[in-house]
A and B are shown apart, each in its own frame.
Chain A
Amino acid sequence: MSGKSSRNQKLIRAPSDLVSKLSQEAACQGKTLYSYVTEIFEQATRAYEMKRSLKEILDTFEILDVPKEAGTIYTPRDVLDYLIQKTYGENGEELQRMWYHAGKWYGTYLKEKFEQPFDSFLRLLREGRWDLNEVAVNKSNGRIVLKCVSALTPQERSLLLQNFIEGAAHSLGYKTQEKNCFKGIICLTLFKHELRQPEEDSV
């Protein structure tokens, strides 16, 4: 620790310019610097409990509203899996097409909203709401290998999610070179295709 103050306080060293900025902000908000710093440290420890740094959380903040604005909603996972299980047998291909087109719409939306839409899409996949435990991206020689892992996801939902991701990637100017999907593990190899040919963007 940097130093000791009264019984319930400690002194911590910080860059002078940051302390000045914080003092100004605290004054603007009608707070003391001490209470303002307390709030900031409370949030920093909260972020740590969420296994994230403040920087990571702020980096994803701009995408937090995307699911709401882009027409996606929450539903209980078990309900979704049941509905898919009961309809996939007879409507599997149609469902795949529907998810693909939903993905294309999603990608188009991201393209309108963000300067780096594909990166935003990856951040959205990573931030937790799509039930993915891991989203790994490997870029080399103009190719992107995207690996999404979600434990205990049934094959049907994995396939539908793969179609959704593919649809989004296609609308963002990528084409599929290779794809694999097995119970919660989705692997897509994509390459950038500057001039999109919509007729080739089929499932």
Chain B
Amino acid sequence: MKRKLLAARLDLADKISEISSRKGTLYDYVNDILEQAIRAEEIGLSLKTVLDDRWTVKAMKDAGFILVPEKLLYDLAEVAYKRVGREKTTMLWYETGQWYGHYYGDLRKFEAAIKNCFWDVSEFKILEEKETAVLTCLSSKFSATYTELFSKFLEGALNALGLSLSQCEVSKGIINLKFVKPLDK
């Protein structure tokens, strides 16, 4: 087979060479990489798009999220809410939210994670102003109970990120939360 020389960035070429030494020859490894790049382009995608999506899956797994059929989750939440009671159930969601607030440690990262993984949420945004942050979350799929629980999850996360709830408006499928930022010392 005819061969050509490809110029590659030094650090990447070294890295590829290092990886290939664990898998076989450099030539075969580069061949495989280039074939996959062409395959991706042939289905109308860039490798970056494909890897970004795959990365999201890994990030969600690392963050302790798990897939569940949505109807089953909403039903479970409904039953548990009635059986265990409002206080305990909302506290669970609030504390879980706190954990995720600490986990992401940054308002924009948290916002991005919600947008990426909660695809039952049709609109999600956090608008920051000088002293406040306003969170809006809309979902046509949420029940009234699930909306309340999810609002506590969001409240917990933003509290963990240093914001204090000042106003809240929660009704079936609609969450509007206003937070006050801590005063600069």
A43 to B52, CA, bound (A): 9
Q: Which of B12, B75, B79, B92 makes the CB contact (< 8 A) with A42?
A: B12
Interface residue A79 (Cβ < 8 Å from any Cβ of B): yes
Q: Which of A44, A82, A87, A105 makes the CB contact (< 8 A) with B33?
A: A44
Residues of A within 8 A of B130 (CB): none
Interface residue A137 (Cβ < 8 Å from any Cβ of B): no
Q: Which of B5, B39, B64 makes the CB contact (< 8 A) with A58?
A: B39
A172 to B35, CA, bound (A): 33
Interface residue B67 (Cβ < 8 Å from any Cβ of A): yes
Residues of B within 8 A of A95 (CB): 76
Closest Cβ of chain A: how far from B37's Cβ, in Å?
4
Stretch with Cβ within 8 A of A (4 or more), from B23-31, B104-112, B160-168, B169-177: B23-31
Q: Which of B5, B33, B50 makes the CB contact (< 8 A) with A11?
A: B5
Interface string of B64-93 (1 = CB under 8 A from A): 111111111101110110011000000011
Interface residue B38 (Cβ < 8 Å from any Cβ of A): yes
Residues of A within 8 A of B51 (CB): 43, 46-47, 50, 57
Closest Cβ of chain A: how far from B54's Cβ, in Å?
5
Q: A13-B27, A128-B61 are in contact. Are A38 and B8 (CB under 8 A)?
A: yes
Number of A-B contacts (CB under 8 A): 239
Interface residues of B, dominant DSSP:
helix
Interface string of A1-25 (1 = CB under 8 A from B): 1110101111111111111111001
Q: Which of A68, A82, A91 makes the CB contact (< 8 A) with B119?
A: A68
> Closest B-chain residue to A43, C-beta based?
B47
> How many of chain B's residues have a CB under 8 angstroms from any CB in A?
72
A44 to B13, CA, bound (A): 11
Interface residue B2 (Cβ < 8 Å from any Cβ of A): yes
Contact B41–A130 (Cβ < 8 Å) = no
Residues of A within 8 A of B119 (CB): 68, 73
Q: A13-B4, A99-B72 are in contact. Are A45 and B10 (CB under 8 A)?
A: no
A26 to B1, CA, bound (A): 23
Closest Cβ of chain A: how far from B43's Cβ, in Å?
8
Interface residue B7 (Cβ < 8 Å from any Cβ of A): yes
A5 to B13, CA, bound (A): 11
Contact A54–B36 (Cβ < 8 Å) = yes
Contact A57–B30 (Cβ < 8 Å) = no
Contact B16–A57 (Cβ < 8 Å) = no
Q: A55-B32, A73-B120, A102-B69 are in contact. Are A14 and B76 (CB under 8 A)?
A: no
Contact B60–A22 (Cβ < 8 Å) = no
A80 to B51, CA, bound (A): 28
Interface residues of A, dominant DSSP:
helix
Contact B93–A79 (Cβ < 8 Å) = yes
> Closest B-chain residue to A153, C-beta based?
B66
Contact A41–B73 (Cβ < 8 Å) = no
Contact A87–B79 (Cβ < 8 Å) = yes
Residues of B within 8 A of A39 (CB): 46-48
> Closest B-chain residue to A81, C-beta based?
B66
Residues of B within 8 A of A136 (CB): none
> Closest B-chain residue to A102, C-beta based?
B69
Beyond the given pairs A39-B46, A58-B39, A71-B71, 12 more chain A to chain B contacts, judged by CB atoms under 8 angstroms and listed by A's residue number, are A10-B8, A13-B3, A33-B7, A38-B12, A40-B33, A54-B33, A60-B54, A74-B60, A79-B96, A80-B66, A95-B76, A129-B66
Selected A-B contacts with CB under 8 Å, 15 pairs: A9-B8, A9-B10, A13-B5, A13-B26, A15-B34, A39-B46, A41-B9, A48-B19, A54-B47, A61-B53, A64-B57, A74-B66, A76-B66, A83-B80, A131-B61
